[in-house]
A and B are shown apart, each in its own frame.
Chain A
Amino acid sequence: QKEVEQDPGPLSVPEGAIVSLNCTYSNSAFQYFMWYRQYSRKGPELLMYTYSSGNKEDGRFTAQVDKSSKYISLFIRDSQPSDSATYLCATNSGGYQKVTFGTGTKLQVIP
């Protein structure tokens, strides 16, 4: 069993739709949860991070963590064609510990 499971997609939505991306993890030691966006042939860029269970909002993006069920989500409101990318969930146990990535979900927002 992978430590972080993520549906690879692809996911195709019309512009303006609400996008829901999800991951599950198995290691209870994981404390930090991140979402990265990766455009084709580029390195990942951090979108959001969160430590505690609950929601964290940043503009059109909301990250949600439920530690009891080991479930993390990213919601994108009013999706735009520029949001088309691969989204990777990631987690680690904190500090300078190595990050474990999900497989990534490829998102396409159609104009």
Chain B
Amino acid sequence: GAVVSQHPSRVICKSGTSVKIECRSLDFQATTMFWYRQFPKQSLMLMATSNEGSKATYEQGVEKDKFLINHASLTLSTLTVTSAHPEDSSFYICSAHGTSGGYNEQFFGPGTRLTVL
């Protein structure tokens, strides 16, 4: 199946710093990518939908100025957590929309674990 990578896989930062997470579709082009956040023992919560060449669409309650999303190419979307605080510590997962066997499937990246001290 299609492969989606994320970088870094793990990051620890100090409170107040900004962190950038990259999501790449390695062997297919993705016009749409999604960013999720998953707290321990909870499900994935959609943060935003990222469309190549246009502004991201954020879910209700997600601060667009805090979570900056850039989808500059058909294979790369980035999520920047600005002025990170301990409550932003979470598992961030991206997915990219592609087609497999005629079905529009979301292929998930391996996730990035962010810890803010």
Contacts and interface: CB of A to CB of B under 8 A. Distances in A.
Contact of A103 (B43, B49, B93): B43
Contacts of B34: 98-99
A45 B108 contact: yes
Interface residues of B, number: 26
A61 B45 CA distance: 26
Contacts of A95: 104
B43 A88 contact: yes
Contact of A41 (B4, B41, B111): B111
Size range of the interface on A? 20 to 34
B63 interface: no
B111 A42 contact: yes
Main secondary structure of the interface of B (DSSP, over half): strand
A94 interface: yes
Contact of A102 (B43, B95, B105, B111): B43
A54 interface: no
A43 interface: yes
Given A44-B93, A96-B32, A98-B34, A49 B105 contact: yes
Nearest to B107: A46
B44 A88 contact: yes
Interface string B62-95: 0000000000000000000000000000010101
Interface of B: 1, 4, 6, 31-32, 34, 41-44, 46, 49, 91, 93, 95, 97, 103-111, 113
**The 4 residue pairs across chains A and B that have the minimum distance between CB atoms:** A43-B108, A103-B43, A43-B111, A101-B43
6 contacts: A43-B109, A44-B93, A46-B106, A46-B107, A99-B95, A104-B42
